[in-house]
Amino acid sequence: MSETQERTGTLQDLAAIAPATHDKPVHEVKRDAQGRSYATGRRKDAVARVWIKPGKGDIIVNGRSVGEYFARPVLRMLITQPFLITDRYNSFDVYCTVKGGGLSGQAGAVRHGISRALTHYEPELRGILKVAGFLTRDSRVVERKKYGRAKARRSFQFSKR
């Protein structure tokens, strides 16, 4: 028997003996004393701290209702996407505080935070949210301005004379 056959035979024997304990990572439920789940969401320069608990679907952002804070319907739709895709619409109350960035970045940060908080509350929803891309932090940020340039990429205007 050659050396490679001995090694593969040994590995196969080990695989048969050892139980498969690392098939799927086990995600546990994370709730505080009030039954809330917390998560942080980020997008561009915005950071959202999000708490969710079972309720009738109220969303409070920085002490104001979601319709008052995010006036554009597109931003409100962005925030409710995690609930719609998991069939949990109007079953959780959301309280969040958002800092930094503009309204679009803040809405993206709230969506990211809600998605992460949902996975802490119900770990079995993780697969649905992961496939939809809501658990991935969107890492696109504004490119910095370079020296010798008018903006990040634009050159200064050329003058022949």
Tell me the pLDDT band of 20, cut-offs 50, 70 and 90: low
Per-residue pLDDT band at 143 (split at 50, 70, 90): very high
79 located within any domain: yes
Domain contains 29: no
Q: Report d(CA 158, CA 161) in Å as an integer.
A: 9
Number of domains the chain is built from: 1
Question: Which residue, 28, 66, 73, is CA-closest to 48?
Answer: 66
Q: Which range marks the domain in which residue 104 is found?
A: 35-132
Residue 158 lies in a domain: no
What is the residue-wise DSSP string for 38-70? EEEEEETTEEEEEEEEESS--EEETTEEHHHH-
* 20 falls within a domain: no
Amino acid at 73: P
7 pLDDT exceeds 60? no
Higher-pLDDT residue of 13 and 132 is: 132
Examine residue 90 and state whether it is found in any structural domain, yes or no.
yes
Read off the pLDDT of residues 49-79 as tens digits, 9 standing for 90 and up: 999 999 999 999 999 999 999 999 999 999 9
Residue 117 lies in a domain: yes
Q: For the chain, how many residues are written?
A: 161
With bands split at pLDDT 50, 70 and 90, how would you rate the model's confidence at 30?
confident
Residue, of 5 and 121, whose pLDDT is higher: 121
Residue 45 lies in a domain: yes
Q: What is the CATH number of the domain that holds 59?
A: 3.30.230.10
Closest among 91, 146, 96 to 116, alpha carbons compared: 96
pLDDT for position 11: 46
pTM for this entry: 0.80
25 within domain boundaries: no
